[in-house]
Amino acid sequence: MKDHGTPDLDRDLKDLPPDLRWREWMRRIEAVLFASASPVPLEDLQRVVGQGASVELLVEDLAVDLEGRAFEVATVAGGWLLRTRPAYAPAILAAADVGGQDLDLREFDVAVLAAIAYHQPIDREGLKDIFGKEISRDLIGRLHARGLIGAGPRSPRRGAPYTFVTTQQFLVAFDLGSLQDLPDREQLEDAGIISDR
Beta carbons within 8 Å of 65's beta carbon, 6+ residues apart:
26
Based on DSSP, count helices (H) and strands (E) in the chain, helices before strands: 9, 4
Q: Does some domain include residue 139?
A: yes
Q: Does some domain include residue 85?
A: yes
Domain boundary among 92, 123, 140: 92
**Which tens digit of pLDDT belongs to each residue from 135-157?**
988 889 889 988 899 998 888 87
Q: Does some domain include residue 6?
A: no
In whole angstroms, give the CA distance from residue 147 to residue 135. 18
pLDDT at 112 over 60: yes
> Domain containing 66: what range?
18-92
Total number of domains in the chain: 2
Average pLDDT, integer, range 45-52:
88
What is the C-alpha R_g of the chain? 21
Q: Does some domain include residue 86?
A: yes
Domain boundary among 64, 92, 120: 92
**Which tens digit of pLDDT belongs to each residue from 172-183?**
888 788 888 888
pLDDT at 2 over 60: no
- What's the whole-model pTM score? 0.58
176 within 8 A of 183, measured Cβ to Cβ:
no
Q: Does some domain include residue 129?
A: yes
In whole angstroms, give the CA distance from residue 96 to residue 71. 16
Average pLDDT, integer, range 99-109:
73
Sign for the CA dihedral angle at 188, 189, 194, 197 comes to: positive
Domain boundary among 92, 127, 150: 92
Residues 73 and 142 in one domain: no
